[in-house]
Amino acid sequence: MKVRPGALRLGFGARLGRGLLALMGWRTVFVPPPAPKTVIVVYPHTSNWDFVIGFLARAAVGLRCHFVAKESLFRGVFGAWLRRVGGIPVDRRAPIGFVDQVVRHFERSDEFHLVFTPEGTRARTEHWKSGFYRVARAARAPVGLAFIDYGRRVVGVGEWIALSGDEKRDLERMSAFYAGKVGKHPDQQSPIRFAPDADEE
C-alpha cells in the first residue's frame, strides 16, 4: 500500500521549502514512498549544511519524517523542539535493545518514516552503521535512498528498495545508486559497507 497522497503536507511549508532551495540554487527529486512505513537513509553526510538542506527538502516534499536520538537530549525547550521536528528518544540503558525500541514506534503508528544517516558522523569512517538495515528488516519496511548531491545541487529521495537479507547484494545496489553523488566534502564520504561484525546503531 502506497503512502496516502493526503499524508503529504503540501501547503505553505512546502512552497517555502521549495522557494528557499531554489534561491540557494538547489532542486528536489522525490519518488513517493511505496508504503506508509519506511526507513530512509541519507548519504553522503559530510557537512553541517546537510541538515539545513535536508530540512528544507523535507518541507518541500511534504513528507513527515522522524529520526532517533539519545534520550538525554529530550529535555527542556530543546527536547520539546526535537520532538516537534520528528525526534524519537532512544534509551540506551533500556533492557530491550535499540532495534526493538525503534520497531515499537513502527508498530504503534499508522504511518512512520524514519531517517538514518548511516555514516553516523560528518567525518570519514571505514564503514556504515548497520542499525538502519536491522530496523528495516525487523519492521519489514522498504528503504528509501535519499541523497544530497553538491555536485549537481540536487537533493531528495530517488529510489526505494526492498531488502533481500543478503547484505552484500543490498549494499551493492545502494552503492550503484549513490555512484557519482558528491557530498560537500567528498574526501569525507565513507565507503558503503558494514563492519565485518556489524552490530551498531
Note the pLDDT of residue 89: 85
Taking residue 37's Cβ as centre, other Cβ atoms within 10 Å add up to 21
In a domain, 187, yes or no: no
In a domain, 185, yes or no: no
Note the pLDDT of residue 7: 52
In a domain, 201, yes or no: no
In a domain, 81, yes or no: yes
Note the pLDDT of residue 118: 93
For position 105, which CATH number holds? 3.40.1010
In a domain, 190, yes or no: no
Note the pLDDT of residue 198: 58
Supply the pTM of this predicted model. 0.88
ω into 33 cis (within 30 of 0): no
In a domain, 94, yes or no: yes
In a domain, 26, yes or no: no
Alpha helices (runs of H) in the chain, residue ranges in sequence order = 12-23, 49-61, 76-84, 98-108, 131-139, 167-178
End-to-end CA distance of the chain: 28
In a domain, 18, yes or no: no
37-42 β-sheet, strand order: 27-30, 154-161, 143-149, 37-42, 112-116, 66-70, 87-90
Note the pLDDT of residue 34: 95
Please, what are the averages of pLDDT over each run of 10 residues along the chain (201 residues)?
Answer: 52 87 95 96 94 92 88 84 85 76 92 92 87 95 97 96 96 97 94 78 54
- Domain holding 114, by residue range, is 36-152+166-180
The domain tally of the chain equals 1
Note the pLDDT of residue 1: 45
Note the pLDDT of residue 80: 87
Note the pLDDT of residue 137: 96
Pairwise CA distance, residues 200 & 194, whole Å: 9
Q: Compute the residue count for the chain.
A: 201
Note the pLDDT of residue 106: 94
Main-chain dihedrals φ then ψ at residue 194, nearest 5 degrees? -95, 160
Note the pLDDT of residue 78: 85
Characterize the bridge pairing of strands 66-70 and 112-116: parallel
Note the pLDDT of residue 36: 94
